[in-house]
Amino acid sequence: MDWGFRGSTRRRTCMLMITHACNLNCSYCYEPYKQNAYMETSLAKDIISREAQFVDESNDFDELQIDFMGGEPFTNFSLIKNIVEWLEKGAINVPWICYSSTNGTLLTDEIKDWLREHKNSFILGASYDGNIKMQSTNRGTNKHNIDLEFFQEVWPRQPLHMTISKETLPMLAEGVLDIQAKSHEVEASLAQGVDWTIEDAVVYREQLCALKDAYLKDTSIKPFNILVRYTYIVNVPAAEKIQKKWCGTGQYMMTYDIDGQKYGCHMFTPLVLGKDRALLSDAVEWDSPELTVDDYCKNCVLRRFCPTCAGFNYKYRGNIATRDKQWCPMILAEALTACEFQIERIATLDKLDKEDAEHGQAALRAYKILQHLDIRKSKSPYII
């Protein structure tokens, strides 16, 4: 089946918080207000219908992505099932796709059969943190009966997502390569709200270098996301105060909680912040350039490379723009190793495509700046 969805850049994302419940207790979880509360299917249909009408009448959007969020979304599988089948019957008149992530522990054979049947309408991504030891460390459980082969079979191009915790950081290379040895793609990101230290950054650099060397030795392994990012490094004072916004919070995406209340993204909901701090979407001017401005970072050479999350900034620092300065040496480790990998990789390629050439040139420019920085000795903001 083809519902007209093309993955356009003119895409509206409608996030539905369909549950506040979860069956695991992950060490890095940022949702402390879990409870057995669920969205009603009738409310979800009403929200999606309104969002579809908004897309249909908009000059900015062509299609709609519906994300089922939690908690663990599959604690409310009945809603997912009802909504997808309702959409497949032509409930809305704009191109659409449904998506969810899952910890994978609640997928029964019956659910997996349904997912196979509806794989063209519903994409499922697995959150998986590496080998069994890493899973046990991060997830607070010994449940490891996760059918990764099922994800590979049904959505072979959908990477597994790994969260790097302080405890699993020393096992990063081992965990990534273990997943990739089973023919899975993997994307990784650092846990938020963690007390990252200089020593952690040194270990991170070592682990990233181990992965770099493994990929250069065996070019049949697809490098994971952190080493192939475009290394946009700027060694000039900021000409303007506006800094990059890293997602479409409140503009290209909107989140609806289990009661239908509207938030910029799930990070501003009561599940994450509690009822007293939850920030309704209408309370924020999401298109204001000032939302991205952290004066501390304005002249840092990494300011275009270093990611930031408005929701985590607000949760942990009380301000949408204020970045986590404990990330600085960790991001420097990423930038240095990504440059080295991309520069060294060029020498192994018989032919460069346009993307390889652009990334390689950017890495060469960036490394001329970054090679003067030392993870242990250099202090952020990194200004040369």
For 148-201, how does the pLDDT look when each residue is reduced to its tens digit (9 = 90+)?
Answer: 999 999 999 999 999 999 999 999 999 999 999 999 999 999 999 999 999 999
Say which range, 125-134, 141-150, 254-263, 364-373, has the weakest mean pLDDT: 141-150
- Per the structure, the complete domain to which residue 380 belongs is given by 193-247+298-384
Residue 366 included in any domain: yes
Amino acid in position 369: I
φ, ψ for residue 160, nearest 5 deg: -75, 145
Residue 14 DSSP SS3: strand
Q: Is 337 part of any domain?
A: yes
**Two tokens at 301?**
């050479």
Q: Residues of the chain with pLDDT > 90: what percent?
A: 84
pTM to 2 decimal places = 0.93
**Contact between 70 and 23 (Cβ < 8 Å):** no
pLDDT at position 289: 81
**Residue (of 2, 67, 70, 4) closest to 39 by Cα position:** 70
Mean pLDDT of 139-151: 81
- Give the integer Cα–Cα distance in Å for 27 and 72: 15
| Residue 140 domain-assigned (yes or no) | no
Whether 143 and 103 have beta carbons less than 8 Å apart is answered as no
Above 60 in pLDDT, residue 19? yes
Residue 170 lies in a domain: no
Q: Is the separation of the CB atoms in 153 and 18 below 8 Å?
A: no
Q: How many CB atoms lie within 10 A of CB 124?
A: 25
pLDDT band at 87 (very low <50, low <70, confident <90, very high): very high
DSSP string, 71-130: S-GGGGHHHHHHHHHHHHTT-SSS-EEEEEEE-STT--HHHHHHHHHTTTTEEEEEB--S
pLDDT of residue 283: 94
Average pLDDT over residues 291-308: 91
Give the C-alpha separation, 97 to 65, whole Å.
Answer: 5
Number of domains, the chain: 1
A 10 A CB-CB count for 95 gives 19
Rounded CA Rg of the chain: 21
- The position carrying tokens 């996301």 is 225
Position 23 in a domain = no
The Cα-based distances of 251 to 192, 278, 322 in angstroms read 23, 18, 20
SS3 230: coil
Question: 61: which 2 tokens?
Answer: 């959007």
pLDDT confidence of residue 102: 97
Give the percent of the chain with pLDDT over 70.
Answer: 95
pLDDT at 240 over 70: no
- Run of H or E including 172: helix 172-181
Which pLDDT score is estimated for 246?
77
The answer to the question of residue 240 being in a domain is yes
**How far is it, in rounded angstroms, from Cα 173 to Cα 350?**
27
Per-residue model confidence (pLDDT) at position 166: 97
Question: What does the pLDDT average to over 310-328?
Answer: 95
Look at residue 154 and give its three-state secondary structure: helix
- Residue 124's pLDDT is what? 98
Overall average pLDDT of the 364-379 stretch = 96
Neighbours of 372 (CB within 10 A): 12
**2 pLDDT above the threshold of 50:** no
Beta strands in the chain (DSSP E): 11-17, 63-69, 96-102, 122-126, 160-164, 186-190, 253-256, 262-263
Q: Other C-beta atoms within 10 Å of 65: how many? A: 21
The answer as to whether 133 is a domain residue is no
pLDDT score of 363 more than 70: yes
Encode 14-27: b = buried (16+ Cβ within 10 Å), e = exposed: bbbbbbbbbebebb
In this prediction, residue 9 carries a pLDDT of 67
Assess if residue 315 is contained within a domain. Answer: yes
